[in-house]
Structures are given as structure tokens and as C-alpha cells.
Amino acid sequence: MNRRDFIAGTATGLVVGAAGTYAALKGGKQQTASGPAVVKNKLEWRMVTSWPDKFPGLGTSADRLAARITAMSDGRLTVKVFAAGTMVPPLGVFDAVSQGSAEMGHTSAYYYQGKSKAFNFFSAVPFGLTANELSAWIHYGGGQQLWDEGYAKFGLKPFYCGNTGVQMGGWFRKELKSLEDFKGLKMRMPGLGGEVLRRIGATAENTAGGEIFAALSSGRIDATEWVGPWNDLAFGFYKIAKNYYWPGFHEPGTGFECSINKAKFDALPKDLQDIVATACRAEAEAMLSEFNRHNGDALKVLIEQHGVQLRRFPDDVMTAFAKASNEVLAELESADDLTKRTYQSFKKFREEAISWAKLSEQGYLDMRQRTLRPNG
């Protein structure tokens, strides 16, 4: 009997299989006194998310990750996705998984910066890393170890599982003429970007994605950022605010996480742990590719069908963003120990990334723009 046949015949409950063939719970042999291995071999996990059901790019990525883990494990670890609000509120994912009321969550770390400012670095920080750079720092630059350390305090094991790429600056009802226009402005912006806005005179709040449209249309907020053309088109912000600003200084490549209850993860057999890790790694690539595939055509729809005005932030605004961002990040040097060490690791990596990007991505993109589309 091969492994697949064996698993196919052991869909639920306690199963008696050939001695020494396979033991799902610990990935090794689990022989009884009488010889045959006793296998309890099917786990069903709940993945709570911060996204509306099947929301493009984010909800669909969670669905795909769940399906990938289920398929790769041949059903031994079946993951069922719960959209925001069906089991827990959109920003309640971290606590739900930490407490074990769900085994897995699909969300982004900066929503939980109230627990530690260090968590921002695993999502996005102002003037931070691009998608490629964030992946490099997490996987090869020490980021994962810091993330593991920070989340272990809450009984969680985090995996990087996606990225939106560079985000847009956001939707504004009125055109911004200068920095003065941020005074008193109420804007939705999560993470440290929100703190930067406060430094330049605005107020910022962290509204969950599915609640932004109502906040914007009621006038409770004057402006919002979300992600980029594809996602923002889906939420319909163009119906309220026509001025679409770039670039997104606050989220140059936002990372997403599959966080897992650590006790549940540690109890998995090694092969299922590897399947979860590998599925997350694969899905990280899939999410970014999908965003890059759809943002360009969604941008055309926004401009050509919905009359959206693309606008670059005024120079004095970008200068103020940079100054305030530097201040906000520098203050993390005196935050808690984990945040300080995470910031220092990030800062060192960013310095090297800036030097390399100038010659590589940035150098190439500048050349491509100048030579192929010199007029924009």
C-alpha cells in the first residue's frame, strides 16, 4: 500500500494501518503491542481572517493558502477559512489565535502594534522595505527570528505569506495643495504611517478594511488609504473621493502573515509543519504576483471609467512625510527591547538595500522609464 492509498482510506477518526507504514500525528512510527500502527490522522483547523469573504488579493489568498495546505497534506490537515466577522472581528484575529479559539489566522502584524511596536516591521513601516526587500530581511536577514521571539510571548508562530507590493498614498476628497491641507484632516491609515500623519497635524485611525467605505461616505473620515488600484476599486472609494495620491510612503511593500497557535503548531508532526511553512512561502509569491497582475488594469478602469484623478503628493508633503517618518522610527530606539533590536536589524538591512536598489531595481526602472516613456 502506498502512502496516498493509505491516506485516502483513512479519512477520519482512529484508523489501523500497516505496521510502521505511517503515523500522522508525529510523522513517525507509532506501533502498538499487537503490531499495527494506530493512526488518528485528520486535523481540521480554522483560519480566521481580517478580510471580507473572497476579497480580491487578500481573502482569495487566504482561501488559496488554506486549500494549498489541505491539498499538500492530502487532507491530513484540512483548513477552513472564516471571513472577517464570521468568527471574530477583523482585527481580533491575533487574540483569537493567541487564545486558541482558532488555530490559524490570516492578517497583518501592524494591526497589532498596540502589543509591540516591533510588529510594524513585519508588515510595513514608512520609508521601509519593498516586497522583495522585506522577504529578504525576514528570510535571510534575521527578521523571522525577531518575529518568532515577539510572537512567542503571545503563544503564536508567524509565517510570512504574502505582500501587496508598493501601495498607493490614498484617496482624498479634496486636492492637496500643500502640507497645510493635512492640518485637521481625518484619515484612515494603520501602523506607524498613522503616527506620521499625526506628526504633521492630521488625525489617523485604523479602521478595518470592510468598514472604510462607510466611514468615508458618512464623512467620519476625510481620506483613506487601503492598498492599491485592484483592491481599492473593489471597495469603490472612487465613488466618494476622486483624488488618488501616490506614492504610498507608508507602505512600500506590506507583508501578510499566517499566524498559528504555537502549541498547536508545535504538536504537529514535522512533515505537516514543513507543509505549512512551504505553503506559506509559495503563497507569498502568489499573492504578490496576483497584485502585480491586476493593479495595472484596475488603474486603467479607475481613470478611464470612473474619472479618477491621479496625483503625486506635493514636494513639501513628501519632505514632511520623510522627516516625520525618521523621527517616528528613531524613537523606537528607546522603546522596549524587542522593538529596539528589531529596528536596529531593519535599519542596518535598509542601508544595504538602499545601496543595492540604486544600482538594481531602481537603476533599471529609472532607465526604462527615461528611455521608453520619457513623458510619463
Contact window for Ca ion (CB under 5 A) among 70-78, 143-151, 246-254, 317-325: 246-254
Q: How far is the CB of 238 from Ca ion (least distance, A)?
A: 16
First to last CA, the chain: 63
Regarding 232 and contact with Ca ion (CB under 5 A), the answer is no
Q: Which helix (H) or strand (E) holds 83?
A: none
Q: How far is the CB of 226 from Ca ion (least distance, A)?
A: 6
d(CA 108, CA 271): 26
Contact window for Ca ion (CB under 5 A) among 39-47, 160-168, 290-298, 363-371: 160-168
- Nearest CB to Ca ion, comparing residues 41 and 167: 167
Q: Which helix (H) or strand (E) holds 49?
A: strand 43-49
**Buried b vs exposed e over 68-91: b needs ≥16 C-beta within 10 Å?**
bbbebbebbbbbebbbbbebbebb
Among 63, 133, 195, 251, indicate the residue that binds Ca ion (CB under 5 A): 251
Do strands 77-82 and 43-49 pair parallel, antiparallel, or not at all (unpaired)? parallel
- Nearest CB to Ca ion, comparing residues 50 and 167: 167
CB 156 within 8 A of CB 104: no
Contact window for Ca ion (CB under 5 A) among 110-118, 166-174, 335-343, 344-352: 166-174
Q: How far is the CB of 119 from Ca ion (least distance, A)?
A: 15
Matching residue, cell 510572537: 151
Contact window for Ca ion (CB under 5 A) among 245-253, 299-307, 325-333, 360-368: 245-253
- Nearest CB to Ca ion, comparing residues 92 and 255: 255
- Nearest CB to Ca ion, comparing residues 6 and 226: 226
- The residue count for binding Ca ion (CB under 5 A) is 2
CA distances from 241 to 38, 50, 178, 190, 270 (A): 61, 24, 18, 19, 50
- Nearest CB to Ca ion, comparing residues 191 and 269: 191
Interacting residue ranges for Ca ion, rule: CB under 5 A: 167, 251
